[in-house]
Amino acid sequence: MTGAPPATGFEHASDTPSGWTDPPPITSFKSVNILLRGADGRTLLQMRDGAGAGALTWGFWGGGVEASDVSLADCAVRELGEELRLEALPQDFAFLSFRGRRAGHLAALLLYRRSVAWTEIDVREGAGAGFFWRSELLRIDVSQAVREHLMARPDLFADWASRQPRPAPGE
């Protein structure tokens, strides 16, 4: 099954009907959230500035889909260029999930497939940036988008404990 989401809607790609393999068309989306990771697996988030909902919370990079965006990946390329001065290509992204219930108001979550380091980025938007383990994200103020994906798909966020060597059986 491909194309627009069913009229009843659903929250996350993991809730989609069996056989759903492609994201809905770009016209279904209002915005793109981008999941970036460091080489150690920690998630790179932006401290949202400004007033209103989401201000002074840690959130994903990304922004609104514009009429000139041919695909969700094109939107992500543009947003990372604007926000981090990071040069990316459309093939650097993988569609992970989305949130929302109505076509035209969905927010995509895309994974930037390459790891990022402080030396590669120049933060141009927000009040700051930081790398976080999943366990840290559970203790800080995060945006609604991060919170919803963290609860629905915790496997997308690496944790410090998962990076530690495990003892061999019988040790």
pLDDT one-digit tens code per residue, 62-119: 999 999 999 999 999 999 999 999 999 999 999 999 998 877 789 999 999 999 999 9
Question: Pseudo-torsion of CA 128, 33, 73, 100, nearest 10°?
Answer: -170
Confidence of residue 27 (pLDDT cuts 50, 70, 90): confident
pLDDT digits (tens, 9 = 90+) for 146-162: 999 999 999 999 987 66
Q: Look at the block and give the residue holding tokens 């969905």.
A: 106
Q: Which has more confidence, 39 or 12?
A: 39
Q: What pLDDT is stored for residue 150 in this prediction?
A: 95
pLDDT digits (tens, 9 = 90+) for 133-142: 999 999 999 9
**Could you tell me if 78 and 62 are in contact, meaning their C-beta atoms sit under 8 angstroms apart?**
no
> Quick check: 47 pLDDT over 80?
yes
> According to CATH, what is the number of the domain 23-161?
3.90.79.10
